[in-house]
Amino acid sequence: MCQIPTKMPYNHELYVQYMLLTIKVKLYPNNQQHKALLETMERFNEACDYISKIVFSNRVFGKIAIHRIAYYDVREKFDLSSQMVVRAIGKVAESYKVDKSCCHEFDKHGAIVYDQRILTFKTLDEISILTLEGRERITIKYGEYRQLNMERVRGQADLIYHNNTFYLMVVVDVPDADPIDPNGVIGIDMGIVNIATTSDGEIFSGKKCTEVRQRYSNLKAKLQRVGTHSAKKHLKKISGKERRFKKDTNHCIAKVIVQIAKDTNRAIAIEDLTGIRTNSTVNKAVRTAIGKWAFDELGNFLKYKAALAGIPVFEIDPKNTSRECSVCGHIDKGNRKNQAEFHCQKCGHNENADINASKNISSRGICQLSHSLLSC
């Protein structure tokens, strides 16, 4: 087991990074403004489709090269402002960075990328945004969990359209928190039966989440079998409810864990689960269940909330965390008797399996912290 060296300066620069946060801002246009925004979005994406055909037929994918062959043609054909055309070219060029094997098509209600030349924040409650009809001043509102500071808005903002509502995805930088000098590491085991378990023994049960997931799955299956107009309308109504429930649950869990770490002056350690959904060595049923819960999202919430609080987060190798004894370190497949119970074949240690795993995660996090100061 690694111990944290005492009386040594903690290198804040190793752990605290410059923090950018995306805020979802809701727009409240009147009927005329809503129509203008929608027409602008549809025209913008028509232009993207047109540019895409030019790009693919000429096999020219760089922004500058696309600008040379398409800019004036697009301006004349679609009557878009200069900067709108630039943004459309940028959107098409970005899409071809991922895949150049086929001609890309763009959803007519796909996002418009706005920058500071065509979008400005007039006040905390109002923006000026360019449409086909000219500039429109539109009221905005945003969540209270992170106050929007106009001076901290950075770069571009995406205008998106969902369920007949417009939103801006605005990137802001956030004030750097005073970094802590951790004197311990709290380990977090993420699972399906229990969404999160801490090395302190606190368990965030997944029972309620499983019930909600099953209820929505059954309801969706029934509505899809019926297939009537009213059934489809109901499907649309419940669309996204499960997703929002998951997101809210993950937010709440992450908030509690970060507060515990802050109150006890500890860092946080989580498992690096990158690629687990495509890992061929992982049971298909487990991969499916993992896909039903947003572990990446919970991990990201922990990271950004911890960063805002000045708390370092370590991602550790998840190998054998559930099979290793947190007391003697013995690793054996037989140690994990079932989902809930851990029994060490060597020393006889008995404990809740998730708590045992979270203690192993904590120990590996302490190793990473110690290694940054001396060596593990």
What are the 10-residue block averages of pLDDT along the chain, 376 residues in total?
47 47 89 97 97 95 94 95 96 93 95 93 90 95 63 79 92 75 93 90 86 84 87 80 84 94 95 63 52 72 89 91 94 89 94 95 91 60
How many contiguous H segments (helices) and E segments (strands) does the chain have?
9, 14
Contacts of residue 329, Cβ cutoff 8 Å, sequence gap at least 6: 1
pLDDT of residue 290: 52
At position 374, the amino acid (one-letter code) is L
DSSP reduced 3-state for 165:
strand
pLDDT of residue 107: 95
Longest dimension (CA), the chain: 78
DSSP reduced 3-state for 98:
helix
Q: Strand order in 203-205's β-sheet?
A: 203-205, 194-198, 185-190, 267-271, 313-316
pLDDT of residue 294: 63
Residue count of the chain, please give it. Answer: 376
Beta strands in 293-364 (DSSP E): 313-316, 341-343, 350-352
Q: Report how far apart the first and last C-alpha atoms of the chain are (Å, whole number).
A: 9
- Kindly list the distances between the CA atom of residue 375 and the CA atoms of 1, 4, 183, 368, in Å, as whole numbers in the listed order: 12, 10, 16, 8
**Burial class of residue 79 (count of CB atoms within 10 Å of its CB; 0-12, 13-18, 19+):** exposed
Burial 138-161 (b: 16+ CB within 10 A, else e): bebebeeeeebeeebbeeebbbbb
At position 190, the amino acid (one-letter code) is M
